Amino acid sequence: DGGITQSPKYLFRKEGQNVTLSCEQNLNHDAMYWYRQDPGQGLRLIYYSQIVNDFQKGDIAEGYSVSREKKESFPLTVTSAQKNPTAFYLCASSPWAGKQETQYFGPGTRLLVL
């Protein structure tokens, strides 16, 4: 079955610690995205990548970093510079821009600060 997987489902971060959220897709999609969702709010774009070894900042990139070494994988690191990281993180992917295409989401990772 094709899809997007995210791990872990829940992640706890201590003060001053960097943590990495995993996102893998086997849909052969070119573009991948990371969003942050806070309670009762919409999705805000953190980073996106159109092709391997290339990525762009979204609206709220500060305190986050990404890499795209493989087409299937787009991990997100929440650094200690992100002072309020508690949120639900969603990874998405989409094919190369086609008229009827959209973004498909993974199940999400909930990050909590200890």
Partner 1 sequence: QQPVQSPQAVILREGEDAVINCSSSKALYSVHWYRQKHGEAPIFLMILLKGGEQKGHDKISASFNEKKQQSSLYLTASQLSYSGTYFCGTELLISSGSARQLTFGSGTQLTVLP
- The footprint of partner 1 (CB under 8 A) covers 30-31, 33, 35, 40-45, 48-50, 56, 88, 90, 94, 96-97, 99-108, 110
User: Least distance (Å) from partner 1 to the CB of residue 104?
Assistant: 6
* Shortest spacing between CB 80 and partner 1, in angstroms: 26
β-sheet bridge partners, residue 32: 49, 93
User: What residues contact residue 81 under an 8 Å CB cut-off, 6+ apart?
Assistant: 62, 63
The residue (of 5 and 18) whose beta carbon lies closer to partner 1 is 5
Query: Cβ of 21: how many Cβ atoms within 10 Å?
Result: 23
* Nearest distance from C-beta of residue 16 to partner 1, angstroms: 28
Query: Residues near 109 by Cβ (< 8 Å), separated by ≥ 6?
Result: 6, 7, 8, 9, 10, 11, 21, 88, 89
- Minimum CB distance to partner 1 smaller for 70 or for 81: 70
Nearer to partner 1, 13 or 110 (CB): 110
